[in-house]
Structure 1
């Protein structure tokens, strides 16, 4: 990573104060600090493998443990847009440091909790940390590195943190739960320690927040309330619909789903009103015109990320259950079979950094989504009698490629077409879609799994009024295969969307800083307009800017 790529052009006055000169070592530490924040995904995935031990410790049934995972996902996933906007307005460094401090504090509290109800509440509070940290990290990297090979490297490294965090979390959760003296509590103590490292790193490596240049810094709290309420209700319904007493026909599930959709609909109308209203109305939380930028490719990229994460997380979830509940491996044994995901994730970081400045983004996304689809396909036709190397190993190797490629390409593309003052908001929106994709994918594959399991168990004479966990093995195998077939459809649909709608985007990474962009930046007379002009030059070169312009 060369030092000069983080500086303004030589012999030109800096018009963008956030592109400060920094040493190579400080640049590397900055990227590692933000990546560590992404790796803190172990706060979610590590707990999944620890649930049986938590249930034994608190003497509660398995169906009472779901909120330990769901509470964290709800709070962390549904506040990304709001916290992204607040980070843009009040400072990304502040948001990052407060987020990791909050996450570490409540991780520690989770480790000392004495009841499952208290753990549920603390997990919900813990999730507020990543909701603040992740959007801020995206904005920090976008402002620290101008379009250059350094930016491509930074975002590629940051992007690999999510799948690595998920994969590492599964391994660490199983190992600590089985071997650590503190059992499942050790996973929370580890999370608190990593959060502390992120906090210390952030204090020394993240540049001071430049003052916001927005004239109106009022927050659209009505919009924030509407979108957060709608996302919470929809995410809750997706997670609970199959577990409710009457399934999706349960009255409160239907009511909450309708209410959630209404909240999102009213939010969209309210944002449209604020964006086009004249007078002294406060600025919208999210300009709807963002979705139509570069001829709607912004929206398509978000949808592809939604579908990719729906497939990737569903694959990992059902593969882990297959190993533990069908093959009857221990949590550590199942986690070890998923270990190649970690190795591939690290390798993908170097691959993305090497090729994202050379290959069309469509190529990267299609390759990634197809590889994730292959992983799902291998488990959709898996033969339990075959050796691990025939199905399990290649699936673990290929599954994470899509998540890495789509995440890196998506975040770079979003940063390229977003205005300087909305980088964290755009990043938060991207993260929100991936969270919703995760919830949607698990909900749909769970529906398919349960329907197939009941049908096949009934064919074999099993009384489905009893627990389906004891259903005949052939019925269980068919249900796992059906879930993976469903997961297979998500990334493949994403690949089709990329081929049809992302043609012309071109390369979103950079080999070297764009001289033309720097020239445009140096001619700008307004602070912050340099990034805007540079993004437009890059976008015009690769995509075309129809529908991107807006008041600034």
Structure 2
């Protein structure tokens, strides 16, 4: 069964699904600005504070593939509605948490239901907008939400923390969930994969444990890359993921059909998506720390300081979307990361007493333009030509790439920051100067990853424009 609603209904469907994407993405960052207040009120240790963020993105990323298959087999609208309800309940639990353990568990439960909700939403978008110009517009809107959601989370978190309480950074999700459930009930059309559908139990276990071990291993890197725990968990994660690939190549109903990721274009898009996730979740966190800790901004002002990048993305995406049929996605995928890298390099020159408008704003503008160039074609490339039977799995892979990339990026950037700040502090400079050196190191590392994304696009995003960007009313050709 395939969703094929009338044109007007399709745009209402897009509005509901875009709201879902916003909730899922902003929840990775909305608590960032609130963490100092939550840590003080609940008596969190520094390790518990880190896991308030990590618990969400780790569970989310590790279970997305299973969530995608559940959406395919059980019904995408049904999975969407159940995910919404569970996400709202988990958010309410977190907002009422009385200690660190309850808050971390609540964040993990949010990630669990987001892993069901997000791929269902993206799969519904894929089957609702099968091809043509409307598909490009729909994915551009979805890309804007995905790209700006992190910044919106920082801004909203600042507003709620300053004028209410950190608890409302979680409780506000209940409002979004109610709106999403009402819209979903009226405008979403059920669809599911046809045929004999079986769950890949062993694939689910190996990929969840593998990704979890990998991310946890990277989170331990701050102790030292050579520590036995870091090496052990990283090695275990790699081994389990290798076993997962072996299982997927042999089972009849794989959790992730290898045809989804082994095609050069789609595989390249997934890798680039992971890099973008690492920058959005990892690098923006340290920019926020610079605003509050070094520059002394209040939570609200720190949130507003991030808006520049969001505004640039919102302005640039519609312009680039109109130009996409003429210039094609490949050029944007190559140039976009380079512009983003230039913005990150500019940010690396921040100083403890620097002016925001001189040292930060130009870098955010460049970063926003570069990210907009990626958001316009990226998700479309990752899903173009995927068979309807695999829509949920492919959608889950897109989201998993972002979350796992963000988890790994946050862990790696934390280790880089800690080492750079420690070395600077040992030289006798002031504490704020040492912090700033650590943030600068993170921005340089982020710039290097974006350059790597551009190189991946050069070698992997290839093909005729009709294959990379299907037009008209014909179904998108299968690339794999």
TM-score (norm 1): 0.82
In 2, the alpha carbon distance for the partners of 1:166 and 1:129 equals 19
Mapped pair 1:193 → 2:178: no
In 1, the alpha carbon distance for the partners of 2:21 and 2:172 equals 15
Q: Which residue pairs with 1:422 in the alignment?
A: 390
Mapped pair 1:128 → 2:112: yes
Say which is worse superposed, 217-226 or 414-423, in terms of deviation: 414-423
Mapped pair 1:145 → 2:145: no
Q: Which residue pairs with 1:468 in the alignment?
A: none
What secondary structure does 2:379 align onto? helix
Mapped pair 1:475 → 2:475: no
Q: Which residue among 242, 248, 258 is the counterpart of 1:288? A: 258
In 1, the alpha carbon distance for the partners of 2:388 and 2:342 equals 38
In 2, the alpha carbon distance for the partners of 1:234 and 1:497 equals 22
Structure 1 residues 207 and 437: alpha-carbon distance in aligned structure 2, compared to 1, 3 A threshold: same
In 1, the alpha carbon distance for the partners of 2:112 and 2:367 equals 28
In the alignment, is the contact (CA less than 8 A) between 1:312 and 1:403 conserved in 2?
no
Q: Which residue among 13, 16, 22 is the counterpart of 1:39? A: 22
Q: Which has the larger radius of gyration?
A: 1
Structure 1 residue 422, shift from structure 2 partner: 0.4
Can you list the C-alpha shifts for 1:157-178, whole angstroms capped at 9, x where unaligned? 1121122221111111111111
Structure 1 residues 398 and 36: alpha-carbon distance in aligned structure 2, compared to 1, 3 A threshold: farther
Can you list the C-alpha shifts for 1:358-378, whole angstroms capped at 9, x where unaligned? 321111112321222122111
Structure 1 residue 186, shift from structure 2 partner: 1.3
Mapped pair 1:270 → 2:247: yes
Q: Which residue pairs with 2:238 in the alignment?
A: 261
Q: Which residue among 28, 45, 51 is the counterpart of 2:11? A: 28
Q: Normalized per residue, which structure has more helix?
A: 2
Structure 1 residue 383, shift from structure 2 partner: 4.4
Structure 1 residues 377 and 213: alpha-carbon distance in aligned structure 2, compared to 1, 3 A threshold: same
Q: Which residue pairs with 2:450 in the alignment?
A: 491
What secondary structure does 1:374 align onto? helix
Mapped pair 1:81 → 2:58: no
Q: Which residue pairs with 1:380 in the alignment?
A: 348
In 2, the alpha carbon distance for the partners of 1:269 and 1:408 equals 34
In 2, the alpha carbon distance for the partners of 1:103 and 1:401 equals 32
Q: Which residue pairs with 2:209 in the alignment?
A: 229
Can you list the C-alpha shifts for 1:194-231, whole angstroms capped at 9, x where unaligned? 11111111111111225x322x2111111111101111
Q: Which residue among 184, 199, 218 is the counterpart of 1:219? A: 199
Mapped pair 1:328 → 2:296: yes
In the alignment, is the contact (CA less than 8 A) between 1:361 and 1:505 conserved in 2?
no
What secondary structure does 1:119 align onto? helix
Q: Which residue pairs with 2:319 in the alignment?
A: 351
Q: Which residue pairs with 2:37 in the alignment?
A: 53
Q: Structure 1 unaligned segments of length 5 or more: list them.
A: 1-16, 275-281, 463-470, 518-533, 540-544
In the alignment, is the contact (CA less than 8 A) between 1:111 and 1:186 conserved in 2?
yes
Structure 1 residue 456, shift from structure 2 partner: 2.1
Structure 1 residue 482, shift from structure 2 partner: 1.6
In the alignment, is the contact (CA less than 8 A) between 2:77 and 2:124 conserved in 1?
yes
In 1, the alpha carbon distance for the partners of 2:179 and 2:292 equals 33
In 2, the alpha carbon distance for the partners of 1:65 and 1:308 equals 24
Structure 1 residue 335, shift from structure 2 partner: 1.6
Structure 1 residue 79, shift from structure 2 partner: 0.7
TM-score (norm 2): 0.94
Q: Which residue pairs with 2:51 in the alignment?
A: 67
In 1, the alpha carbon distance for the partners of 2:370 and 2:83 equals 28
Structure 1 residue 344, shift from structure 2 partner: 2.3
In the alignment, is the contact (CA less than 8 A) between 1:311 and 1:373 conserved in 2?
no
Structure 1 residues 397 and 20: alpha-carbon distance in aligned structure 2, compared to 1, 3 A threshold: same
In the alignment, is the contact (CA less than 8 A) between 1:35 and 1:159 conserved in 2?
no
What secondary structure does 1:103 align onto? helix
Structure 1 residues 283 and 240: alpha-carbon distance in aligned structure 2, compared to 1, 3 A threshold: same
Structure 1 residues 313 and 60: alpha-carbon distance in aligned structure 2, compared to 1, 3 A threshold: closer
Structure 1 residue 404, shift from structure 2 partner: 4.0
How many residues align? The count is 478
Q: Which residue pairs with 1:434 in the alignment?
A: 402
Q: Which residue pairs with 1:506 in the alignment?
A: 465
In 2, the alpha carbon distance for the partners of 1:67 and 1:315 equals 17
What secondary structure does 2:327 align onto? coil
Mapped pair 1:448 → 2:428: no
What secondary structure does 1:65 align onto? helix
RMSD between superposed Cα atoms in Å: 2.1
Can you list the C-alpha shifts for 1:362-408, whole angstroms capped at 9, x where unaligned? 11112321222122111112345553222311222232344444344
What secondary structure does 2:326 align onto? coil
In 1, the alpha carbon distance for the partners of 2:378 and 2:80 equals 21
Structure 1 residues 350 and 266: alpha-carbon distance in aligned structure 2, compared to 1, 3 A threshold: same
